């Protein structure tokens, strides 16, 4: 899991975090002007970011085994280890579009001056993730660890979206 996290962290840090940091001031200005303009910018930024992220995911799914092999396979890190890390990498990669959406939703809350809602949503997701890992490890074993980040990203995105929808009806079309 550590090796897969290293690869995903590089993608998140170099692309996703920098992109969101670059677009956040524009999103904040949009929220200061009008909710309607902010809605349009939020959707535009999410779609644009995921247009970059989804091909990266496809590449990681197709070439991830090779990437893991080149980076790590030597000594005690066998071909079987490469396959396991690649499987983890696939699940972590599948979570990326949801991470992008969640991060933009949380930035929308910050732009509106609301820091409590993202924290509450994150705490709920952490609790559910702990329960899932505890219960899931008995039923599906190590696959619970693989599924956990994907589940957390999806759940966090759904909770964030619902909270944003409630607050100022930001995501609901009129």
Asked whether the predicted pLDDT for residue 174 surpasses 50, the reply is no
Nearest alpha-carbon partner for 54 in 20, 19, 89, 100: 100
- Answer with the residue of higher pLDDT: 12 or 119: 119
What's the pLDDT at 169?
Answer: 62
pLDDT digits (tens, 9 = 90+) for 139-159: 888 788 888 999 999 999 999
**Angle ∠(77,57,40) on CA atoms, nearest 5:** 150
Asked whether the predicted pLDDT for residue 54 surpasses 90, the reply is yes
Euclidean distance between CA atoms 23 and 35, whole angstroms: 17
Q: Whole-prediction pTM value?
A: 0.85
- Mean pLDDT on 33-43: 90
- Report domain extents, the chain: 2-166
- Answer with the residue of higher pLDDT: 103 or 174: 103
Residues 66, 83: contact at Cβ < 8 Å? no
What's the pLDDT at 25?
Answer: 92
């Amino acid at each position: 899991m550590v090796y897969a996290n290293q690869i995903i962290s590089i993608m998140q840090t170099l692309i996703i975090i920098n992109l969101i940091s670059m677009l956040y001031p524009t999103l904040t200005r949009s929220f200061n002007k009008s909710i309607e303009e902010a809605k349009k910018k939020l959707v535009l930024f999410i779609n644009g970011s995921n247009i970059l992220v989804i091909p990266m995911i496809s590449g990681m799914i197709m070439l991830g085994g090779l990437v893991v092999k080149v980076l790590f396979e030597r000594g005690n890190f066998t071909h079987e280890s490469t396959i396991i890390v690649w499987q983890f990498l696939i699940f972590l990669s599948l979570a990326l579009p949801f991470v992008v959406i969640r991060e933009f939703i949380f930035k929308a809350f910050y732009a509106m001056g609301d820091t409590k809602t993202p924290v509450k949503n994150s705490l709920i997701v952490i609790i559910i993730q702990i329960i899932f890992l505890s219960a899931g490890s008995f039923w599906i074993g190590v696959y619970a660890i693989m599924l956990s980040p994907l589940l957390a990203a999806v759940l966090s995105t759904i909770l964030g979206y619902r909270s944003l929808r409630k607050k100022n009806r930001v995501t609901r079309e009129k």
